[in-house]
């Protein structure tokens, strides 16, 4: 093989490596989505992934309800346990395939909600101040609605 062809081979090889790296990065960054009719980004998921995501969402709503109920009844124990239910430890159960399909931006918002619930649980235990809980919940709900405005399931 002449030197020229060998060199061309290496150049092509590096071009392939760069294209693969760009595609991998793009996938990690944008996840597996398409533009939906309502202009939100739609996640392209398998049924089991969608079921998991929506079950997690209903868990969030359940926590929100239990927390508000706890605030009304002045029951810090209930707030603590409801906030913990939606804490970060929940993230460990996310199927790896679903994790891969979520855009970076969405993952960030999801993580921040889980962390905020953990912080709420911690503060409920240490401070026992329901006004503080309410303001934390208010902040969390802003992230819930921000994510819903941007993303949906196909």
Q: How many helices (H) and strands (E) does the chain have?
A: 6, 3
Examine residue 67 and tell whether it contacts ligand HEC (CB under 6 A): no
Among 8, 61, 84, 91, binds ligand HEC (CB under 6 A): 61
Nearest to 57 by CA among 134, 127, 145, 122: 145
Examine residue 19 and tell whether it contacts ligand HEC (CB under 6 A): no
Examine residue 113 and tell whether it contacts ligand HEC (CB under 6 A): yes
With b for 16 or more beta-carbon neighbours within 10 A and e for fewer, the 110-147 pattern comes to beebbebbbbbbebbeeeeebeebeebbeebeeeeeeb
Examine residue 140 and tell whether it contacts ligand HEC (CB under 6 A): yes
Cα distance between residue 120 and residue 114, in whole Å: 10
Examine residue 57 and tell whether it contacts ligand HEC (CB under 6 A): yes
Q: Which is nearer to ligand HEC, 3 or 58 (CB)?
A: 58
Q: Tell the smallest beta-carbon distance from residue 83 to ligand HEC (Å).
A: 10
Among 33, 60, 67, 123, binds ligand HEC (CB under 6 A): 60
- Give residues with Cβ within 8 angstroms of 46, minimum separation 6: 97
Choices 4-12, 70-78, 125-133, 139-147; region in contact with ligand HEC by CB under 6 A: 139-147
- Give residues with Cβ within 8 angstroms of 66, minimum separation 6: 78, 79, 81, 82, 85
Examine residue 104 and tell whether it contacts ligand HEC (CB under 6 A): no
* Interacting residue ranges for ligand HEC, rule: CB under 6 A: 54, 57-58, 60-61, 64, 106, 109-110, 113, 140, 143-144, 147-148, 151-153
């Amino acid at each position: 093989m002449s030197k020229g062809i060998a060199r061309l081979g290496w150049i092509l090889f590096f071009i392939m490596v760069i294209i693969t790296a760009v595609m991998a990065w793009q996938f990690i960054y944008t996840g597996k989505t398409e533009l939906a009719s309502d202009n939100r980004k739609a996640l392209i998921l398998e049924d089991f992934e969608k079921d998991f995501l929506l079950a997690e969402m209903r868990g969030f709503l359940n926590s929100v309800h239990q927390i508000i109920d706890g605030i009304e009844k002045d029951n810090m124990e209930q707030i603590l346990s409801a906030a913990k239910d939606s804490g970060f430890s929940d993230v460990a159960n996310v199927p790896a395939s679903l994790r891969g399909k979520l855009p970076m931006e969405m993952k960030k918002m999801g993580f921040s909600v889980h962390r905020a619930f953990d912080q709420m649980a911690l503060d409920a235990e240490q401070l026992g101040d329901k006004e503080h809980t309410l303001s934390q919940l208010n902040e969390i709900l802003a992230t819930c609605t921000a994510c819903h405005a941007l993303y949906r399931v196909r």
